[in-house]
Amino acid sequence: MGLTTSLIWYTNTMLYSRLFGKSIKTIAEEKIISAQLLQQGGFINESTSGRYYFLPLGMRVQQKIIMIIKDEMDRAGGQEMVTPIFHPLSLWQETNRDKSAKYELTLLTDRRGAEFVPGGTAEEMFVDLIRKYQISYKDLPINIYQFSNKFRDEMRARGGLLRVREFIMKDAYSFHIDEEDFKKEYQNMWDTYKRIFKRLDLETTAVEADNGYIGGDYCHEFDVESEIGESRFLITEDGSYAAHEDVAEFNKHVETEHEEFKPMEEVEGKGMIGVEALAQYLKIPVEKTTKTILFETETGEVVAAVINGIYGINEIKLKHIIGSNELKLATPETVKRVTGAEVGYAGILNLPSEVRVIMDDSMQGRTNFEMGANKTDYHTININFGRDIEEPDQFYDIAMAQPGYTAPDGKQKLIEKRGIEVGNIFQLGYYYSNKMKRATYTDADGQIQKYYMGCYGIGVGRTLATIVEKHHDDKGIVWPAQVAPYLVHLIGLDLQDSVIKTKVEKLYHELLDAGIEVLYDDREEARAGEKFATADLIGNPIRLVISKRTEDKVEWKKRGETESTLLTDTELFNKLNLLINT
Amino acid sequence: MGLTTSLIWYTNTMLYSRLFGKSIKTIAEEKIISAQLLQQGGFINESTSGRYYFLPLGMRVQQKIIMIIKDEMDRAGGQEMVTPIFHPLSLWQETNRDKSAKYELTLLTDRRGAEFVPGGTAEEMFVDLIRKYQISYKDLPINIYQFSNKFRDEMRARGGLLRVREFIMKDAYSFHIDEEDFKKEYQNMWDTYKRIFKRLDLETTAVEADNGYIGGDYCHEFDVESEIGESRFLITEDGSYAAHEDVAEFNKHVETEHEEFKPMEEVEGKGMIGVEALAQYLKIPVEKTTKTILFETETGEVVAAVINGIYGINEIKLKHIIGSNELKLATPETVKRVTGAEVGYAGILNLPSEVRVIMDDSMQGRTNFEMGANKTDYHTININFGRDIEEPDQFYDIAMAQPGYTAPDGKQKLIEKRGIEVGNIFQLGYYYSNKMKRATYTDADGQIQKYYMGCYGIGVGRTLATIVEKHHDDKGIVWPAQVAPYLVHLIGLDLQDSVIKTKVEKLYHELLDAGIEVLYDDREEARAGEKFATADLIGNPIRLVISKRTEDKVEWKKRGETESTLLTDTELFNKLNLLINT
């Protein structure tokens, strides 16, 4: 025995009989096809929920994806480095992110009592590193990035690599003298991401998105369209506008009818579910109804969000406006306390001053509109600004966009799509340099200035799973050649026949000598059908077969195509070289 | 501005002016030279104690070390994969390692209440993976390995990368049908390690060592001799025997004089410090004295370790014999309780039976020897087995070897050396397969059998630091070419002169086109002396200089040599190609 056999195998080659984590015939059925195929094909295996082993085949694919990302990041001027995985908690406290991100972080205390968090993102770590140096405007811009394990204390993991608790992320951070310089880099990273995903055979849409606990003013997700994607976004037909539902804007275009003020009236209307029913009952157009939703923040503040009844509230937009990390619907008790009524009858007439009112701009210029009366079972109609309630100094956009709404351009309609977020780019601005000490550089005049920042992430495992989502058929994975575990899947049939066996091994060595990556299915006991099924499941781009029937030739078939051809050795290597060099 | 300049740089090249983490003129002085040079040269930077950033230069070196290890592991039949970083605590409980390793592990609880430990080593994880598959004798042997972050909750970190709390380790695990097959792999890994360290220009000694909390019966450290090494080992002149002080054996060769039994006697002897003073006072040879040391285990058991007075007790050997994870000297209270005397007068006469006696084989065959009398200020002389105390059924080796002692071969003397442990290989045997359920395979007869295991580690960061320890001079690091951040350090002097600048940039591009890794010091403001000092500190193998004085040629100097020569372009590329291809 011993680990070496008469056939040497190096990094580029593998004997299927020796492959660790060979394909498994049956696994518990997964709803997500990439989870199914990657586990069945022997690419990954789950440890605990949301934490995966990468098996030899999965390692190779992941490594190739990493190399493509690295290549493009280096070309774009990035420099690879790496931070420790355990970040001192004190740094997260410095930016208050221990609170804003708290549910996704896990605290860890070492035996000396030092507190750490396993890194989710690493903005503080990079700022903390840079402030150890005396940097000047000549050192800027800087774009530094790492591939490293990231941790998210997700409440629910999804099947496979799409939403996990541990994963490799490429995270880059850029530092600039000012916004103008940053904007060039934002475009540079945008273009770089487009190139990266194109090289990975993924078509992406850059979608405006919410920045979550990362901070900053704006950001874009790179989404791959998919039915199973968790990102719902709205896009115009020409793609000129694309935004995640969390942040999507639309043209509200509410007619401001300059009606005569009618007398305000309290009307009974018990248990109406929905504005349509209410409007019908009150005999007013739906556009005259109003939604007033009460929320509570983490500090106990009560907020009334007010919007034209035809729209819904977007809680993410609302959170940003009020600067809250956590927002939840007010409890029935709170509603009763501040409005005096049961849930369903809130308005803003006679609300106590402790309640902060945020009004959507769909409220602007309205006349004779309805609101809850803050009295159980009652609604007030014909409310008017100036006469009945004060017009606020400022209106906001807190409306949830919906498919079919008019895009911000005022012309096109918004279309709904679902996507998998494989990357994102964030403007951070002065978010971190304002909060962290000495996040500064010396300018040309010797003055200390805060630097302007951005950050840029790609989830490597999720990208891998997304490639499978987009590149598979009913038999298995159809890897793009640049990320396939091996270029060639070599099958020997009739291997009991020593003449055939010698032929296959000769070809195996020739491929090896030519530096071609090959997985050789050398099993003697497996039937042809089983070998073909394995090849289809694993999904390497080129299947080569040698058997009694192929005589002096080799059968060539591309994965994903049905046609196969018999080639001579010379023809084979010509075709392979052509494939490698294009 | 923007990140791209007129000079493109890719993965293989870098402009010094853009390099992130440039060399730092002064840093707090480090006792350890590798810590000093790696930080000063801009390779690493400390986050919190024992946790380091790897900066772009350090990343490159680490990556090259990893590629060399990977290449040799793959050649040797290993397959790369990776486990999650957070191991479920339940697995460590299954082998009881949550207790044996507890001080080096940190516990972490996620928000669902699941408990994890950040991995120190990954035996349980690999066994847990393999038992998900139905493996048979045909699948064995398996050697799977990973490069991944490991965590040790060290009480004290040392400067630089020698003893840290987070580091990348290559850890491999092998699985075998039996011991015989394992032994081949142990030799295979031994040879592979020798090759790896040779390729890294490190001379290693394979030293028998203690397995700590890893388990198993034997293991070897690969030590690089160094004054600052933490491993003290004993070796014969010809190197045929080398063992860590924790486990080193020696030829005790105690004369067994068949003397007449003399009458046993209690003698007063207060406050004698050391056996020499005692022997002198009692007027007996030192060889007649005995040391009896009392220990307590984690379960509260009291153990008396008994040895000829000329030797010292090796607590590691003792721990293994009694199967204890934690052993400490008995407190004065315990000594008093079990012996009835103050510390310093323990013997085994009249010890209560609760005390477990472990006798070193240097006690075997003695006559008329001394021991503490278990009575404050008193010693007993002329003790004899059979007459005064019972001869134990078994003697053990619990003696601490010392330089100058005779080696186990009975001929050579042991020499003391210090070394840095860069790698280790462990026989694990059935240690894990006995403790973990279903750590089995099906044999040729269809019977379920436990598999036999080994494991094999290399600390990547420590190896990197060790290379610096062995390859530096008073000016900086002298990297072996195969792990240097760049092959060429190109210096342009007089860059204000546009003719010179054009020449340097032309060469830079030629090097780039030839695929040669080059770090180009393009600073216009830096003086020649500063540029030379930077080049020496960073330590790339070839320094090329173009200045007014070099005219149409290029100055070539190898790092570590003083002589420089002027070369034409053709001569330069010939020399570089020669260097790369040998």
- B106 to chain A, closest Cα gap in Å: 6
Residue A106: closest C-alpha in chain B:
B110
Q: Is the dihedral of CA B14, B15, B17, B18 positive or negative?
A: negative
Helix, strand, or coil here: B208?
strand
Among residues 29-48 of chain B, which lie with CB inside 8 Å of chain A?
A: 45, 47-48
Q: What percent of chain A has pLDDT over 70?
A: 97
Residue A61: closest C-alpha in chain B:
B81
> What is the spatial distance between Cα B163 and Cα B166, in angstroms, rounded to a whole number?
9
> What is the spatial distance between Cα B438 and Cα B451, in angstroms, rounded to a whole number?
10
Least confident of A247-256, A359-368, A409-418, B543-552: A247-256
Chain B residues whose CB is inside 8 A of the A106 CB are 108-111
Chain A residues whose CB is inside 8 A of the B53 CB are 81-84, 125, 129
Q: What percent of chain B has pLDDT over 70?
A: 96
| B104 compared with B39, residue with greater pLDDT | B39
Among residues 80-99 of chain A, which lie with CB inside 8 Å of chain B?
A: 80-88
Is A59 close to B81, i.e. CB distance below 8 A? yes
Is the model's pLDDT at A210 over the cut of 90?
no
Q: What percent of chain A has pLDDT over 90?
A: 83
Mean pLDDT of A499-514: 93
pLDDT at B9: 38
User: Which of A20, A110, A166 is the closest to B79 by Cβ?
Assistant: A20
Mean pLDDT of A122-128: 97
Mode of pairing for the β-strands spanning B542-546 and B488-492: parallel
Is the model's pLDDT at A11 over the cut of 80?
no
Is A85 close to B166, i.e. CB distance below 8 A? yes
pLDDT at B574: 95
Helix, strand, or coil here: A350?
coil
User: Which of B47, B59, B74 is the closest to A10 by Cβ?
Assistant: B74
Is B86 close to A51, i.e. CB distance below 8 A? yes
For residue A112, the tally of other CB atoms under 10 A from its CB is 11
**What is the per-residue DSSP string for A104-138?**
G---EE-TT--EEEE-S--HHHHHHHHTTS--BGG
Is the model's pLDDT at B97 over the cut of 50?
yes
In order of B117, B120, B166, the CA distances from B102 in angstroms are 10, 11, 16
Chain A residues whose CB is inside 8 A of the B76 CB are 3-4
Is A17 close to B81, i.e. CB distance below 8 A? no
Q: Is the dihedral of CA A100, A102, A104, A107 positive or negative?
A: positive
Is A184 close to B1, i.e. CB distance below 8 A? yes
For the segment A345-356, what is each residue's pLDDT rounded down to a tens digit?
Answer: 999 998 999 999
pLDDT at A212: 78
A7 confidence band (pLDDT: 50, 70, 90) = very low
- Which of A4, A20, A71 is the best mutation test for B, with the most CBs of B within 10 A? A20
- A579 to chain B, closest Cα gap in Å: 23
Chain B residues whose CB is inside 8 A of the A453 CB are none
> What is the spatial distance between Cα A568 and Cα A546, in angstroms, rounded to a whole number?
11
A255 confidence band (pLDDT: 50, 70, 90) = low
Mean pLDDT of B110-137: 92
Chain B residues whose CB is inside 8 A of the A85 CB are 85, 118, 149, 151, 166
pLDDT at A225: 97
- B127 to chain A, closest Cα gap in Å: 11
- A288 to chain B, closest Cα gap in Å: 45
User: At residue B406, what is the residue type?
Assistant: T
- B136 to chain A, closest Cα gap in Å: 12
DSSP secondary structure code for residue B29 in this structure? P
Q: Is the dihedral of CA B130, B132, B137, B138 positive or negative?
A: negative
User: Which of A21, A55, A81 is the closest to B55 by Cβ?
Assistant: A81
Is the model's pLDDT at B259 over the cut of 90?
no
CA atoms within 13 A on the CB side of A578: 7
Mode of pairing for the β-strands spanning A378-383 and A356-359: unpaired
pLDDT at A325: 79
Q: Does A4 lie at the interface with B, CB-CB under 8 angstroms? A: yes
For the segment A430-464, what is each residue's pLDDT rounded down to a tens digit?
Answer: 999 999 999 999 999 999 999 999 999 999 999 99
Q: Does B156 lie at the interface with A, CB-CB under 8 angstroms? A: no
Chain A residues whose CB is inside 8 A of the B116 CB are 48
pLDDT at B7: 37
Helix, strand, or coil here: B220?
strand
Chain B residues whose CB is inside 8 A of the A129 CB are 45, 47, 53
Is the model's pLDDT at A482 over the cut of 80?
yes
Residue B150: closest C-alpha in chain A:
A85
Place of tokens 């186990």: B408
A12 confidence band (pLDDT: 50, 70, 90) = confident
Contacts of B570-573 spanning 24+ positions with Cβ under 8 A: B572/B544, B573/B510, B573/B514
pLDDT at A9: 39
For the segment B557-570, what is each residue's pLDDT rounded down to a tens digit?
Answer: 999 999 999 999 99
What six digits make up the tokens of B547? 């200045």
pLDDT at B103: 61
pLDDT at A27: 72
Is the model's pLDDT at A6 over the cut of 50?
no
Bond into A141 cis (ω within 30): yes
Is the model's pLDDT at A63 over the cut of 70?
yes
For the segment B199-212, what is each residue's pLDDT rounded down to a tens digit?
Answer: 999 999 999 998 87
Is the model's pLDDT at B10 over the cut of 50?
no
Mean pLDDT of B334-343: 94
A254 confidence band (pLDDT: 50, 70, 90) = low
Q: What ipTM was assigned to the predicted interfaces of this complex?
A: 0.91
pLDDT at A26: 67
pLDDT at B134: 87
CA atoms within 13 A on the CB side of A246: 16
Is B165 close to A110, i.e. CB distance below 8 A? yes
B319 phi and psi, to 5 degrees?
Answer: -55, -45
Q: What is the mean pLDDT of chain B?
A: 92
Q: Which helix (H) or strand (E) holds B304?
A: strand B302-308
A217 confidence band (pLDDT: 50, 70, 90) = confident
Q: Does A166 lie at the interface with B, CB-CB under 8 angstroms? A: yes
Chain A residues whose CB is inside 8 A of the B169 CB are none
Is the model's pLDDT at B305 over the cut of 80?
yes
**What is the per-residue DSSP string for B332-384?**
HHHHHHHHSS-TT---STT--TTSEEEEBGGGTT--SEEEE-SSTTEEEEEE-
Is the model's pLDDT at B527 over the cut of 60?
yes
CA atoms within 13 A on the CB side of B91: 23
A256 confidence band (pLDDT: 50, 70, 90) = low
A174 confidence band (pLDDT: 50, 70, 90) = very high
Is the model's pLDDT at A5 over the cut of 70?
no
For residue A552, the tally of other CB atoms under 10 A from its CB is 9
pLDDT at B8: 37
pLDDT at B111: 85
Is B1 close to A181, i.e. CB distance below 8 A? yes
A512 confidence band (pLDDT: 50, 70, 90) = confident
Question: Under a CB-based contact definition with an 8 Å cutoff, are residues A449 and A462 in contact?
Answer: no
Least confident of A122-136, A243-257, B95-109: B95-109
Is the model's pLDDT at A402 over the cut of 60?
yes
What six digits make up the tokens of A239? 């793609």
> What is the spatial distance between Cα A462 and Cα A453, in angstroms, rounded to a whole number?
25
For residue A103, the tally of other CB atoms under 10 A from its CB is 13
pLDDT at B429: 96
Residues A202, A204, A207: CA angle, nearest 5 degrees: 160
Is B149 close to A153, i.e. CB distance below 8 A? no
Mean pLDDT of B303-323: 95
In order of A195, A507, B137, B193, B441, the CA distances from A19 in angstroms are 33, 19, 14, 23, 16
Is the model's pLDDT at B49 over the cut of 80?
yes
Q: Is the dihedral of CA A147, A149, A154, A157 positive or negative?
A: positive
pLDDT at A580: 82
User: Which of B51, B81, B109 is the closest to A84 by Cβ?
Assistant: B51
Is B53 close to A4, i.e. CB distance below 8 A? no
B395 confidence band (pLDDT: 50, 70, 90) = very high
pLDDT at A389: 93
Compute the CA torsion angle A322, A325, A330, A333 (nearest 10 deg).
-120
DSSP secondary structure code for residue B389 in this structure? B
Q: What is the mean pLDDT of chain A?
A: 92
What six digits make up the tokens of B564? 């420089």
For the segment A275-326, what is each residue's pLDDT rounded down to a tens digit?
Answer: 999 999 999 999 999 999 999 998 999 999 999 999 999 999 999 999 887 8
Among residues 51-70 of chain A, which lie with CB inside 8 Å of chain B?
A: 51-56, 58-59, 70
Q: Does B141 lie at the interface with A, CB-CB under 8 angstroms? A: yes
| Closest by Cα among A328, A327, A321 to A397 | A321
| B326 compared with A437, residue with greater pLDDT | A437
> What is the spatial distance between Cα A11 and Cα B189, in angstroms, rounded to a whole number?
17
Question: Under a CB-based contact definition with an 8 Å cutoff, are residues A69 and B37 in contact?
Answer: no
Chain B residues whose CB is inside 8 A of the A174 CB are 3
| Closest by Cα among A461, A243, A543 to A469 | A461
Q: Does A497 lie at the interface with B, CB-CB under 8 angstroms? A: no
Q: Does B25 lie at the interface with A, CB-CB under 8 angstroms? A: no
> What is the spatial distance between Cα B500 and Cα B494, in angstroms, rounded to a whole number?
7
Least confident of A80-94, A117-131, A254-268, B481-495: A254-268
User: At residue B82, what is the residue type?
Assistant: V
pLDDT at A354: 92
Residue B16: closest C-alpha in chain A:
A139
Question: Under a CB-based contact definition with an 8 Å cutoff, are residues B204 and B370 in contact?
Answer: no
Is the model's pLDDT at A134 over the cut of 80?
yes
Rounded to whole angstroms, the maximal C-alpha distance in chain B is 101
Interface A:B, Cβ pairs < 8 A: 200
Is B185 close to A75, i.e. CB distance below 8 A? no
